[in-house]
Structure 1
Amino acid sequence: MDETTLTRQLGEQTALPSPERLAPARERLLAELTADLTHPEPASQPQRTFRAPRALRSRNSFRLAVAVASAAAVAAFGAIALRGPAPDRPPVAMAPVAEFLGTAAAVAARDRDVTPRGDQFVYVKTAGADGTWFEQWNSVDGEHDSVGRSSDGREEVLPACVDGLGKSTDSAGKAVSAPCDVHPWFLPDLPADPEALIAWLTKRNSNVNGVAKDLWSLADGYWLRPAQRAALYRAVGMVDGISLVPSAEDAAGRVGTGVAWVSPGRSVPEVMWIFDAETHLLLGSPATSVVTQPRIVDEVGERS
């Protein structure tokens, strides 16, 4: 029996976790994250998150283009807290969310498992409500140029970071080399267990908002193996304040089930993931739609 068949059978035979089963893990998670909030890192210590190379952060045009599909979602998702609901609004029932995301996780776990080579690219295409679109080829290992193209004909390049150096330009527009951080779009050591995933993210962030932002960011543009994506969905299902929104529409008008969260002090969901209610594939958000699900390609310009 091959690994794909075994994974499919396990996904079909494994029951979704009950609220009672999730409760101990959620309590341990909240205790750890509450400790982070009570004892924050000194202001002088930088927050460790997924970031583009230092020398390339001035390349605002590319980063803004990449961010079109997820900036609003990241901002709102980063505002939630991984703890109980605010006192001025009723508690959110977690069981339906955990059940729905558990099903989405089971579907994701049955997807074809691909471990990419370092010289390949993660291709994804998204569109806005106004019909504009953006496609990107993200370098798997971060040591090859990533490229973004938009519907208005622009093409932007995020240069590779090799041996700690990346290509940039000085104030006069002259090409120079400058120190950089490698920004891979595939993380082989990303845990495939929801509790371990959040613990992994917690170690890389000084607060819970960073954990929340990274949970969203990982689903947008990164290559996740089936078990990793399944863990990501289940991890989101452990966050207090998440709720389901039936008949939600993405930017393309496709109707699905929303997994929504609200900013502190608010009662109306502002941002959400929207899944196909039957296939449980991620469609996008009210602001964007996924035109092409992430896939691995051999070179920039290739789409399948």
Structure 2
Amino acid sequence: MRDTDELRALRDFEAGEPPLDDDTRRRVRARLFQAMNGPAPAAVRPRRPVLRIALTGVVTAAVVAGVLVAVQHDDGTAPGGTAKRPATGAPSTTAPAMRNVSAQTVLNGAAAYERKHEQVVSPRDDQFIYTKEIIKETEQKTGATKSHVDETWRSVDGSQRSWIMEIGKGWWSEPLKEDESMWPPQDWGTLKKLPTDPEKLILAIQGEFGAKARSLDDIDDQEWSHIHFSLAGLLKLVPVMPEGLRPAAYEALGMVPGVKAVPNQQDAKGRTGVAITYDDPTLPEGATGFGGYFIFDPETYRFLGFRDTRTSGDGAEMKTYTQLSYLDSWAVVDKAKQRP
């Protein structure tokens, strides 16, 4: 079973139902780990792959000293501010969103934008990173739309229980055991150890699931597929990162063969942007991998949000949803369930 099938097992359950029980999650994680890593060697360092599917992104945040790190919203305004709306009207064929542009241009532009606007955050180990995500789901067959507000409090050093939400469902996530690890890493200490050079980041990720390559030229299609899976997971599931890591991840994503730009894509707020997606050569024709669409402003390359799909049920009862999502705000707080 491919890693995308295993992700479906984790994410494809209706809103309002309880989260998967621990035994089910362990079984799914075990199968996903085996699918990602191939035949298991005699001794394997336990790993936990991407576990959550709530779609997360990055916004520019204003950071202030003190107990709370101040929040800034996705539209670029501070709380209580007024966003400037673009002029209405259909885009012309010469509008930036309609022009042909390479994926590397978009992602390098996103990295440059992020380096210019990112704020240095240094949370204490005993604190929590709070995120508020907005997810808009539309059932493709009926057109019925429902919005979810997911609020998460994740322990900075991973030593305390975290409160996790996915499409409206929440539960307490226990700290990892000593022999466990997770990709993407969620604790600040592990994130700070990841390279902020894009090529070194790729090689570090590749070394997690195979014999470490000496250069990007040594990486084959299957390994690139795993690398894309890992980079997409890092960018989607870790909304707050140490300085320099997100720009490096954007640039690294631009180096993955098969990553492409798709113009004229709308985000959850109706803005037209240019999207980045991935044609995975290791998947059967017509199959889609993990990652969906990363949508960027076509002029500034500021990240706008995600578009993805989710399915629930089986056979004739299967429903397919289009998900549009963005990170509304984030902050650093002193305890779980504390809002900024």
Structure-2-length-normalised TM-score = 0.54
CA displacement, residues 193-215 of structure 1 (integer Å, 9 cap, x when unaligned): 00110111111123443322210
Q: Does 1:156 align with 2:177?
A: no
Equivalent residue for 1:273? 294
Aligned in 2, Cα 1:229/1:49: closer, same or farther, shift over 3 Å?
A: farther
Indicate conservation of the 8 Å contact 1:121/1:296, yes or no.
Answer: yes
C-alpha contact 1:119 1:140 (8 A) present in aligned 2: yes
Partner of 1:109: 115
Per-residue deviation, residues 69-126 of structure 1 (Å, max 9, x unmatched): 37xxxxxxxxxxxxxxxxxxxxxxx982212211110111121111222122222232
Matches for 1:110-259 after TM superposition, within 5 Å: 110=116, 111-126=118-133, 127-129=135-137, 130-149=146-165, 154-161=169-176, 164=178, 181=181, 184-186=186-188, 187-206=191-210, 207-222=223-238, 223-259=240-276
CA contact (8 A) 1:128 1:252 kept: no
CA change 1:180–1:101 in 2 (3 A) is closer
Alpha-carbon distance, 1:41 to partner = 6.7
Alignment match, 2:333: 297
Between the aligned partners of 1:224 and 1:156, the Cα distance in structure 2 is 23
Partner Cα separation in structure 1 for residue 288 and residue 261 of structure 2: 10
Alpha-carbon distance in structure 2 between the residues aligned to 1:215 and 1:294: 21
The superposition leaves residues 116-142 of structure 1 with CA deviations (integer Å, 9 ceiling, x where unpaired) of 221222222321322123221122211
Q: Distance in 2 between matches of 1:97 and 1:150?
A: 29
CA shift in 2, pair 1:297/1:142, >3 Å: same
Which has the larger displacement, 187-196 or 242-251? 242-251
- CA drift of 1:47 comes to 7.4
CA displacement at 1:149 relative to structure 2: 4.1
Amino acid at match of 2:40: A
Letter of the 1:158 partner, please give it. Answer: S
State the Cα distance separating 1:220 from its structure 2 match.
2.5
Distance 1:251 1:205, change over 3 A: farther
Q: Does the residue aligned with 1:67 lie in a helix, a strand or coil?
A: coil
Which runs of no fewer than 5 residues in structure 1 stay unpaired? 1-39, 53-62, 71-93, 165-178
The change in CA–CA distance for 1:49 and 1:241 in structure 2 (over 3 A counts) is farther
- Name the CA distance, whole Å, in 2 between partners of 1:50 and 1:145: 17
The structure-2 alpha-carbon separation of the partners of 1:205 and 1:288, relative to structure 1 and needing over 3 Å to count, comes to farther
Query: 2:224–2:256: 8 Å Cα contact kept in structure 1?
Result: no
1:43 equivalent in structure 2: 40
User: 3-state DSSP class of the match of 2:237?
Assistant: coil
Residues 82-97 of structure 1: matches in 2 within 5 Å?
96-97=102-103
Alpha-carbon contact 2:111-2:247 (below 8 Å) kept: yes
Deviations 1:26-80 (A, max 9, x none): xxxxxxxxxxxxxx8743454765548xxxxxxxxxx5xx42437xxxxxxxxxx
Equivalenced residue count is 214
Q: Within 5 Å, give how 1:72-91 maps onto structure 2.
A: none
Measure the CA separation in 1 of the matches of 2:159 and 2:153: 13
| Shift in CA distance, 216/192, structure 1 to aligned 2, threshold 3 Å | same
Taking structure 1 as the reference length, the TM-score comes to: 0.60
C-alpha offsets along residues 141-182 of structure 1, whole Å, 9 cap, x if unaligned? 110111024675x531001247x3xxxxxxxxxxxxxx7558
- Give, in whole Å, the separation in 1 of the partners of 2:209 and 2:329: 28
Contact 2:305 2:324 in 1 (8 A): yes
* Kept in 2: contact 1:50–1:214 (CA 8 A): no
Q: Indicate conservation of the 8 Å contact 1:69/1:128, yes or no.
A: no
CA RMSD of aligned residues (A): 3.2
Identity among equivalent pairs (%) = 27
Instruction: Determine which of 288, 293, 296 is the counterpart of 2:324.
Output: 288
Unaligned runs of 5+ in 2: 1-36, 57-99, 138-145, 211-222, 308-322
